[in-house]
Structure 1
């Protein structure tokens, strides 16, 4: 499947859409690709998109890139970046997640360093939020394995989430061990440096390094070479945090930066400690008001995603999208299901007729402002090896009350061919995704 890049004019400028997204600006490098700020055409909301070009990747590297989708789709919580969808276009993998508008903790600390030390209340708040995010992952037997300041994202100046799960690992059970050496050297646990099997305690060590960095603006172990760094980490001796911080912070840090993982505190033990328990409620209450995570929506562990030999065929193996469609509006109609009646735009007579034909008796009163349920349709134009003479079109649909009919499938497929012929002149092929109602069949 190849994605048609749609071109249009916005404010007189040429704009490209990738699967219904407009890339706005480059944000930085992730584990396996570049991350961009993007606007989704269907709801006009801002998202983060990681773009992973797999064309020069080995089969193993492709599998590792796809692993991030599995991990993101397997975990949901107030302090973990939310996954929305993934898709493939021209051997490029796109991963859509929520956008954290205040950057990452690394940039935050660089800015704050000029103004002096962080207030202890901020240190506790950030640390406990990171601890809660790690707890969410560990409850699902997921190791982050690369906790560092650059992978902690700020949704506001006081509310943060863990992200970039590119090297995270899903364990088969809570007693399982991992063995691959991954992570960022300054935050890597001693057992990983020793090339020993490790478990969730490796993330606890990284949290200790982050807590130390919140207090000092630098990691606890530094050296001029990797060998020197390894020796310092495995000795576990670090300079004490500034004296103006409390004994409670020192005590907590001492439970984290413990060389032997069996003696290192777990996330559960830390949350049950007096130092953290006494502060937990006030911090969670303060940040919960800023969270849009719905705890009533459980997420199951996603099975290993098989990576086909032809990478463009990966789409059919990817997890479904997870957008909140309650406030998503079909273009030209207004707020969708769940919007208050005063916010809805009444349907035209043609829309009422189309809606009534599809869903008899469900449009109450002409002009009352009821809005038909949204349906998502994906049209895919296939051009094997770039040869339009052997092309075909497919259409997929979901949502709404009733299954899409054969006639609607035929109409949509025909329109997909017309789109492909139009864009064939620009040598641009791919898939177009849109949210539609019965009055908007292609």
Structure 2
């Protein structure tokens, strides 16, 4: 257990049994009809209110007068829909505040780090927006020193600032201070993507990377219940600073023959069973349960960082000793550890293949730079699994170096030169960048064959 990077976040049998019972009870429920399913409306609101409380408790002691009553949100089908809605909301708001831009059909801009989730690109494609990418620092966080120059360069067309807490590739959290300052100075909405950090963030021991509405000028925030909220796929929550801003994501149709129509999210009908499962999951785990899981996972991240950076000794058959050949990317503290070789002529993809085929560890391959990342969960953060992984990593490195020359001769060694790309969502896969688009298209087609 625990050999998969992310993907499966728990194996709690009692919780799975509870989720199955709840799903069956609410299987016919639909949030589109709150009059028919009043309990679903209550559970829907419960998830939003609990998420608001968690993302306001951090830092409230420093701002005790902060009023959380304005904060609100919606549940969605997952992190992607939460991000799509955050972008749509910001676009609609900015057009309302700047009507000439809409009259001219001016494409609005999203300023975000290179490490921001792919769903922001999807949003820009769907909603006729443009992504302006902030380069990363050597610590693999957004280079916020360039933020104001990007805003000025785009002359009033920037409708959204985006930061991650943490990002998917490296598990690092973008610094809040400059995003906060620029959002206040220019009145630009700021979205914090907490889909991955979700219900770990409130319990982080490093307060500098804890996002909170009580201390930041954050306009919206996304957090996934189906990751570290431990619910079934797919439920996420999109929080908003107030109801006026949230309304910009709503769809309203008053002239339809079928009557007045409105929906808070992209979908019309929604599977109420998933919201019910998420609510009962939250009640089952409770605040102390989430806190315990959060501490265990973040402690495991720290342990794994130390080992990968300074705890590896590889002894080859010919007597050669290789000390600490890997390096951590950035300074992750939440749930993800990303690493690669210290030298560019090595291949972390080949190392990943050995880890998967020989030891069953399926880590996620990254690109730019080529690397591997391990998203730790309740399954993988156990002492037993961490110790096992460390041993398997050393054995994999030994086999890697022993077979390196042989693999090069056979053409199996995939160099870290940017010619290969990771296929998100399929652990351990790599494809050639030149045909990556067609490979993705074919892969998606095959899913429905």
Q: TM-score surpassing 0.5?
A: no
TM-score scaled to structure 1, two decimals?
A: 0.25
Relative contact order, higher structure (CA 8 A, sep 6+): 2
Give 1 or 2: higher helix fraction: 2
TM-score scaled to structure 2, two decimals?
A: 0.25
Structure showing greater Rg: 1
